[in-house]
Amino acid sequence: MDLSFFNRYSLFFFLINFLLLLNVSNQNEQRYINSNDLPIKRMIIILIPGGYSHNIVVKNLLDYTISHEEEFKYEYHIISHKIDSDFWEQKLKLENKNNSYKLYIYGDSSSYYETMNSAIEEMNNNPTLGFFGFNKAMILNIKHFMESDIFDKLKQSQTDYRLKYNEDYFHMIATDVPNFINKLIYTELNIKLNLYILPALCFQIFYPNFELNTAYTPMIGTIYTDGMTFIERIKNSFIFTFTKILFKIFQMYQTQIINSYGYDLDNNIHIYNSFHIIQYPLGLSYPLSLPPNFALIGSVTSKPAEKIEDKNIENILNKYKKNIYISNGTLIKIILEINDIIKIFKYLESENIGVILSLRKNELTEEQIKNFPNNVYVTNWLEQNNILGDKRINLFVTHGGFNSVQESVYHGKPMVVLGVSLDHFNVASFVKSKKLGEIFQNKNLINTENIISAIKKVLNSEEYKNNAEKIGKIMKSTKNPREEFKYWIDYGFKFGYQHLEINSYKYKYSWIIVNGYDIAFIWIIIFIIIIHIIKRIYNCIHDCLCGKCENKHKIKSRINHYKFD
């Protein structure tokens, strides 16, 4: 048989075969990544009602994992109070990411809104005692949840799936701050993994899970920084201790509500063997001493700016020499007199400064807005990250939300911060300590003259601008926070989090042992004993020397006495 033909074209046949095999391999790989063949991991997400900005952060993180499914297919079961349901319903209706989200809604928005607003007002008046108001809101939230049928649905899904497949239906539960709804579901459904996705600056709530050092970690609602004076450290320590006591009391009240429905939870709201993710970017954070089951990620909402599509905004930015962005009606909320606000805007117009003002609907009437000068453009919605990333914006006026400050610094924009409530006090203090702008922490000092003075000072300061740009570069150089979040989610599904837990927390040692106070007590006793020994030695030597001197004196006196005789 003549094999010359096959020898001649063997290389050709080999290449064709190789390309066909490569194509099949690529198709299989693509099918594996983009199909339902990946193992499904279901996670329950519970967020404390009223934290709109944190809902945005969490949604951003979850979306990233869905769009980068490589080892697992993710399915998120969102439990949302009615007060936040509009956000989730609108987002999921528009996106509907291949049924990756399932939404459960409970509660009454009007009653919770009234209770939460009252709590915020109490916190503003007294950052420590104001927690009583938040306790009332949490108790109401628990009642709303327990009166719904959501827990029964979740429990039924877990039970049925285990009976049918001998596997867990839900693999992880996540929440933002410790709450007993989270603990109830975790305990009763026997979910293996628990994740905390912490709002920025709320790490103090997790004091049982790491050594919170009050010497350089300011408590929520204070104006302190990591450079506290002696008196400030005393006050900060007192607030921390008092807050711990209050939390213990609140946990008892909240547990009673849960247990009144026939359950038996203990009073400890924290779940051990958990992992904690904190949005706390480098360069824009205070130092923290954290165990291995804590991870700090960068700013989630900060990203390179996209082109502004609104022509009205473009016209303002191009027309004026300098421009200011004022977010979410910051001035409207703080300075109630509309005439004062108009006065500020007219001054800015005289200085050839344009203003982009974002307001929520119905925050001002159309008649009031018509009285604004021509340098002001009012909008009900805009992409804040994009406006702050525009080079024509020179200053950001904000109420001090941490997400807003992160975005401002990421884009190198100095600020005027009106931080007069809750964690906005802390954010304003941070802005001041890093010299990123001017701040107000007292409502009585917020008036037209002082606002104008602060704006002028920031616009004319190269130091504020340079400091913001420097930290912005640091933030841009860090790892992608969405990638880090996905890494730790996948890590938990593959390996769990228990081995990252420090034993002193895992075995629920008391705060005396965790903080080393028992060892400190021993050292104090040793110190007292040493002092006592030194004192006894000193007394012995003193008595001995004095005794010799006294004997010499007696002998000499006798000799003199004999001589006299």
Long-range CB contacts (within 8 A, 24+) of 494-503: 494/71, 496/192, 496/193, 497/193, 497/194, 497/273, 497/274, 497/275, 497/293, 498/273, 500/275, 500/291, 500/292, 500/293, 501/272, 501/273, 501/291, 501/292, 501/293, 502/291, 502/292, 502/293
Q: What is the band of 365 on the pLDDT scale with cuts at 50, 70, 90?
A: confident
Q: How much is the pTM?
A: 0.81
Q: Which tokens belong to 172? A: 């992880």
pLDDT higher than threshold 70 for residue 455: yes
What's the CA gap between 303 and 400, in Å, rounded? Answer: 19
Quote the strand ranges of 386-496, DSSP E: 395-398, 415-418, 437-440
| Confidence (pLDDT) at 2 | 47
What's the CA gap between 437 and 395, in Å, rounded? Answer: 9
Section 291-309 average pLDDT: 89
Q: How far apart are the first and last CA of the chain?
A: 155
- Inter-residue contact 416 to 438 (CB < 8 Å): yes
Percent of the chain with pLDDT over 90: 43
Which residue would you say has higher pLDDT here, 563 or 200? Answer: 200
Q: Who's near 288: CB < 8 A, 6+ residues apart?
A: 203, 210, 217, 280, 294, 296
Q: Who's near 274: CB < 8 A, 6+ residues apart?
A: 194, 195, 196, 209, 293, 497
Q: What are the helix and strand counts (H, E) for the chain?
A: 21, 13
| Confidence (pLDDT) at 6 | 40
Question: Three-state SS string across 170-224, please?
Answer: CCEEEECCCCHHHHHHHHHCCCCEEEEEECCCCHHHHHHHCCCCCCCCCCCCCCC
Q: What is the band of 215 on the pLDDT scale with cuts at 50, 70, 90?
A: confident
| Confidence (pLDDT) at 7 | 47
Which residue would you say has higher pLDDT here, 317 or 54? Answer: 317
Phi-psi group of 510: left, alpha or beta (phi > 0 → left; psi -120 to 50 → alpha; rest → beta): beta
- Inter-residue contact 193 to 497 (CB < 8 Å): yes
Which residue would you say has higher pLDDT here, 328 or 498? Answer: 498
Q: Which tokens belong to 399? A: 């109420």
Q: What is the band of 485 on the pLDDT scale with cuts at 50, 70, 90?
A: very high
Q: Which tokens belong to 192? A: 């293996």
Average pLDDT, rounded, for the chain: 83
- Inter-residue contact 375 to 351 (CB < 8 Å): no
| Confidence (pLDDT) at 28 | 39
Section 438-466 average pLDDT: 92
pLDDT higher than threshold 50 for residue 20: no
What's the CA gap between 56 and 83, in Å, rounded? Answer: 14
Q: Who's near 299: CB < 8 A, 6+ residues apart?
A: 279, 281, 284, 403, 406, 407, 410, 475, 481
| Confidence (pLDDT) at 29 | 40
Q: 187-205: per-residue pLDDT in tens? A: 999 999 999 998 776 666 6
Instruction: Produce one character per residue of 371-389: b if its CB has 16 or more CB atoms within 10 Å, e if not.
Output: ebeebbbbeeebebbbbbb
Provide the H-helix boundaries in 289-337: 311-319, 330-334
Token pair 């933002």 is at which residue?
A: 176
Distances (CA, A) of 202 to 125, 219, 479: 19, 9, 22
Q: Which tokens belong to 13? A: 């046949």
In this structure, which amino acid lies at residue 263?
Answer: Y
Q: 535-559: per-residue pLDDT in tens? A: 888 888 877 777 655 555 555 565 5
Q: Which tokens belong to 511? A: 């705060």
Q: Which of 356, 359, 405, 404 is nearest to 381 (CA)?
A: 359
| Confidence (pLDDT) at 12 | 45
Q: In what order do the strands lie in the sheet with 395-398?
A: 376-379, 353-358, 322-326, 395-398, 415-418, 437-440
In this structure, which amino acid lies at residue 414?
Answer: P
What's the CA gap between 112 and 141, in Å, rounded? Answer: 7
Section 414-437 average pLDDT: 89
In this structure, which amino acid lies at residue 299?
Answer: S
Q: How many residues does the chain have?
A: 565
In this structure, which amino acid lies at residue 469?
Answer: E
Q: State how beta strands 193-198 and 73-81 pair.
A: unpaired
What's the CA gap between 28 and 26, in Å, rounded? Answer: 5
Q: Which of 362, 356, 350, 365 is nearest to 388 (CA)?
A: 356
pLDDT higher than threshold 80 for residue 398: yes
Least confident interval from 129-133, 269-273, 276-280, 347-351: 129-133
What's the CA gap between 386 and 308, in Å, rounded? Answer: 7
Q: 491-510: per-residue pLDDT in tens? A: 999 999 988 887 665 555 56
Q: What is the band of 61 on the pLDDT scale with cuts at 50, 70, 90?
A: very high
What's the CA gap between 314 and 457, in Å, rounded? Answer: 26
What's the CA gap between 141 and 51, in Å, rounded? Answer: 13
Radius of gyration of the chain (CA): 32
Q: What is the band of 241 on the pLDDT scale with cuts at 50, 70, 90?
A: confident
Q: What is the DSSP string of 48-71?
A: -TT-HHHHHHHHHHHHHHHHT-SS
pLDDT higher than threshold 80 for residue 336: no
CB-CB neighbours of 157 under 10 Å: 15
| Confidence (pLDDT) at 248 | 85
